[in-house]
Chains A and B, each alone.
Chain A
């Protein structure tokens, strides 16, 4: 029994950092731009593909993560400049922006699907080798654990310093709390916004890369993960960085330990696993009452 619990905890530790990174991408972009970006899942999917393809072409894992992060960051800026910014300048409602991000999501995912189907890489596995470093009561602690946990720790530290110890971060927070006031007080609104998208895209890119190292990917991966990211981000109230990271871990652990618990004591079919994060989303949304 202890064996199984340790196994589930390690499994949770493996996926939670990925959820945290994706959720951070949503939190950061939402808190500054007020767009609930449905396309984040696709950024993650594209990051996963680029990291997997880069490792296959022979690049080492860390450089592939960094390159895919930068690529996706650039893509996020490009998407914002071409689609979201013109819409927001025109005074579109949050709902219209949400639907626009839906359109971007469909466009990115299926354009990439067309390419992937043409190249026959709809189902892709990266070259990253998961190796067991140690065994904790028969459950393996792998190198991916170390990589992803240290990345999420570094990233959250970096983000915390960026937001709370630098002028840019102050500008970001100012923009988040009141865009009009921020622009009146001389904050270069659009430049800060570009930086925000770069950071969000970078996070989504490395999140996808880690996911590609963890398991095989398809073009539907992004959408499947998107709802997890949203739930983690909503647990953190879509504003706080530490709470968002914690949210990712809550989702990861509740998914694994919770499913194990229900399976063990109530013999629930593991196929119901996705229902746990969904329940967490609905409960946390209704509990937090993100009121209009």
Chain B
């Protein structure tokens, strides 16, 4: 293997891990902190992908005067244009990112209505149905993103870098930075008074509303934030694969992300990241193409084994370590830090204190 193929392989690892980290952290915000079982995670991810591909392709099509954007010719024209216009490519990327974040967030906010009305298990079914319905609609309604065949030629914002391996590596590093930014965001959110309110909604909705917390607003806000994060992940994936295929966004993606969060530890962001890294490494390593590098050719479709072990992992974690790898910590708000210093237990970061 030469350097460029190593770079491409490692960039795919980094890119997928970062995307999964963003998705898992947003799931953790919903399920781990607020107790909303979002079995339709892939729906918001999909919305981000659809919106960003529509925005990007229509911006390119207008700039180039393309009428039918779904042909292979149009796709190659868009790619060629992005290679010669770096500024335009980056602008399109940023606009798509913003629009998809807002669109997914709004749809997430709207789904807080059923989230309010339904019991957990039925909410899970409803959100799962939303995702499947959206996928079936999009794969049938061709004017949106080209139906079953999807659309390609959504140029990567770094297409103008002549060396493909370098461009992919840089792009995956951008994704890694975004994953770190997401971690900082959700960590700040979780260790704030709002984080405590989220946990109170999760643990006892009635008690928290009796203390004057607006449960509906908390749920709406959490779903807005987490869904726009998933939308951002969808946008990143679209620009990474430079295409969109509706059949990539099937429910097993949601289940995979949920199992990442469960493995790492629901209600703990660092744990969630550990789970996401472990499982996305596992996912990348059990690709048929990766296994073929080591000369392993199983007599069945290897993705079946991956999904089966996801299921087994979910059950085993629930049976033997329900709290996950890293257990849920305490909420470390600024006030908590001050009090723990004044009262003299633990150092000023609140470490080593009694567990609440």
List the interface of chain A (C-beta within 8 A of B). 36, 83, 86-87, 92, 94-96, 98-100, 102-111, 113-114, 117-118, 223, 227, 230, 234, 269, 271-272, 274-275, 278-279, 281-282, 285-286, 289-292
Contacts and interface: CB of A to CB of B under 8 A. Distances in A.
A118 B299 contact: yes
A103 B126 contact: no
A274 B310 contact: no
B200 to A, nearest CB: 15
B312 A103 contact: yes
Given A87-B318, A106-B314, A95 B126 contact: no
Interface of B: 31, 35, 37, 39, 114, 117-122, 124-126, 128-130, 132-133, 136-137, 140, 205, 251-252, 255, 258-259, 262, 299-301, 304-305, 307-308, 310-315, 318-319, 322
Nearest to B318: A100
A290 B133 CA distance: 21
A199 to B, nearest CB: 21
Given A92-B322, A117-B301, A275-B136, A103 B311 contact: yes
A207 to B, nearest CB: 19
A282 B305 contact: no
Given A95-B35, A113-B301, A290 B119 contact: yes
Contacts of B319: 83, 86-87
Contact of A83 (B117, B255, B307, B315): B315
Contacts of B251: 223
Nearest to B122: A290
A65 B215 CA distance: 49
Contacts of A227: 125, 128-129, 132
Given A227-B128, A278-B132, A285 B118 contact: yes
A40 to B, nearest CB: 12
B120 A103 contact: no
A103 B314 contact: yes
B302 to A, nearest CB: 9
A95 B120 CA distance: 7
Contacts of A113: 300-301, 304, 307-308
Contacts, number: 141
A103 B311 CA distance: 4
Contact of A98 (B121, B129, B205, B312): B121
B120 to A, nearest CB: 5
B117 A36 contact: no
A278 to B, nearest CB: 4
Contacts of B129: 227, 278, 281-282
A99 B300 contact: no
Contacts of A292: 118-120, 205
Given A94-B120, A230-B125, A274 B132 contact: yes
A102 B304 contact: no
A282 B117 CA distance: 12
A223 to B, nearest CB: 8
Contacts of A94: 119-121
A33 to B, nearest CB: 12
B122 to A, nearest CB: 5
A105 B37 contact: no
Given A109-B307, A110-B304, A114-B308, A275 B314 contact: no
A103 B345 CA distance: 41
B248 to A, nearest CB: 16
A136 to B, nearest CB: 31
A286 B137 CA distance: 21
The CB with the most chain A CB atoms within 10 A, among B124, B304, B322, is that of B304
Contacts of B318: 87, 92, 96, 99-100, 103
A279 B126 CA distance: 10
A95 B159 CA distance: 44
A105 B310 CA distance: 10
A291 B117 CA distance: 6
The 9 closest A-B pairs by CB, nearest first: A106-B311, A103-B314, A107-B311, A110-B308, A36-B121, A117-B300, A103-B315, A110-B307, A113-B304
7 contacts: A94-B119, A99-B258, A103-B312, A106-B311, A110-B304, A110-B311, A282-B130
A230 B133 CA distance: 15
A114 B315 contact: no
Contacts of A95: 31, 35, 37, 120-121, 124
A279 B128 CA distance: 12
